[in-house]
Amino acid sequence: MTDVTVVGSIFMDLICYADRLPKPGETLGGTDFQTGYGGKGANQCIAAQRLGIKTAFVGKLGKDAYGKEYYENFLSEGVSVEGITLEDNVPTGVASIMVGTDTGENFIIIAEGATKLVTPSYVKEAGEALISSSKLVVCQLEIPHESSLTALRLAKQHGVPTIFNPAPAVSGLPKEIFQLCDHIILNETEAEIISGLEKIQDQLGLEQAIEKLKELGCTNIILTLGSDGALVWDNSRKSYERFQAPKVKAVDTTGAGDCFVGAYAACIARGDELSTAVRNAIANASDSVQRKGTQKSFPYKIEIFLIDCDL
C-alpha cells in the first residue's frame, strides 16, 4: 500500500537570485542562478517522501531533456512513477522564478507544458489504482481543476482521505471540490480569493474567511500565515487553534508552502493528530526557507526532530 498519492503538477524551476526583486520595467544584475525540480504537486510529493513514507505521483512530463532528468529525480527520491507519462512533442513544464535575497520573497511565472495534459480522463486511467490503494490523496490547482475534482471523487469512492491545496487559487470553483476534501490547506491570498473577502488584516478577518470555507463544505481548515504560523479549524474538536512559527532568517521562500503540505500529509498518513501535523509542517517549512532552492531545501526525516516544535 502507498501512504500518499499526489496528483498534480511537475515543473523544472529556473531560479534567478538578486539582492532585491526588480521594479516593473527594471533590469537588475543577478547574484546567482540555479535550476531545480519544482511544481506544487511534485514538491509536495518529495517533501512527504523525505519524511520516510511511501509516495506515488500522477502527472505528466515532456519527453525532452528536462523531462528525462526529472523522471530520474523521482526515481532517486524513491517515489513510485507508475502514474507518470512522458509525452512526445510536448515540453516539460517550466517555472521561471525571481528571488530577492533581501527578504527571500519571490515572483513566479509558469509555462504548463505537459502538466496541462493531466486531464480528468488521464487521472482516472493512470491514477485510480494508485488512489484506491493509498492512505491519503493530495491534489492542487496547477492542473485543471476538473482533474483535481476527479482525483477527489475517486478518493471518495474508495474511502481514501484527501488533502486539497487550492493553489494557485481561482474564484468560482465548484462547491463539490470543497465538500470532497477532508483537509484544505491554503494561504491568506488564496483564502481571500476563494472566500470573496477583501484584504484580511486581523484575526477576525482570518476567522471570517474560515467561516466562509466552512459554508462551502470544508471540514478541517489549515490557513497558513507564513512567518506568523497558521490558524486552524479542527473539525473534530469544533474549535480554532493558532500555531506560531519559529523565528528564522529566510533566504528563499520558494516552495515553503509545498513543504508544509507535504510534511502535513506525511504526518496525517502515519496517523498523527491534526495539531501534531500542523506543528511538524510549520517546523519543516521554517527549516526549508533557510536554504536556497525548492526541493533541494526540503528536510529529511531526522531534521523534523531537530527543530523546536514546542510552539
Cell (9 digits) for 182: 477532508
Residue 159 marked in a binding site: no
For 126, how many CA atoms within 13 A lie in the half-sphere containing its CB?
24
Residue 127 marked in a binding site: no
Residue 41 marked in a binding site: yes
3-state per-residue secondary structure call for the chain: CEEEEEECCCEEEEEEEECCCCCCCCCCCCCEEEEEEECHHHHHHHHHHCCCCCEEEEEEEECCHHHHHHHHHHHHHCCEEEEEEEECCCCCCEEEEEEECCCCCEEEEEECHHHHHCCHHHHHHHHHHHHHCEEEEEECCCCCHHHHHHHHHHHHHCCCCEEECCCCCCCCCCHHHHHCCCEEEEEHHHHHHHHCCCCCCCHHHHHHHHHHHHHHCCCEEEEECHHHCEEEEECCCCEEEEECCCCCCCCCCCCHHHHHHHHHHHHHHCCCCHHHHHHHHHHHHHHHCCCCCCHHHCCCHHHHHCCCCCC
The residues annotated with a catalytic role in the active site are 258
- Beta pairing, strands 162-164 & 183-187: parallel
Residue 27 marked in a binding site: no
Residue 83 marked in a binding site: no
Residue 225 marked in a binding site: yes
Residue 187 marked in a binding site: yes
Residue 202 marked in a binding site: no
Residue 67 marked in a binding site: no
Residue 156 marked in a binding site: no
Residue 255 marked in a binding site: no
Residue 297 marked in a binding site: yes
Residue 98 marked in a binding site: no
Residue 72 marked in a binding site: no
Indicate the annotated binding residues for K(+). Answer: 252, 254, 288, 291, 293, 297
Annotated binding site: 11-13, 39-43, 142, 187, 224-229, 252, 254, 257-258, 288, 291, 293, 297
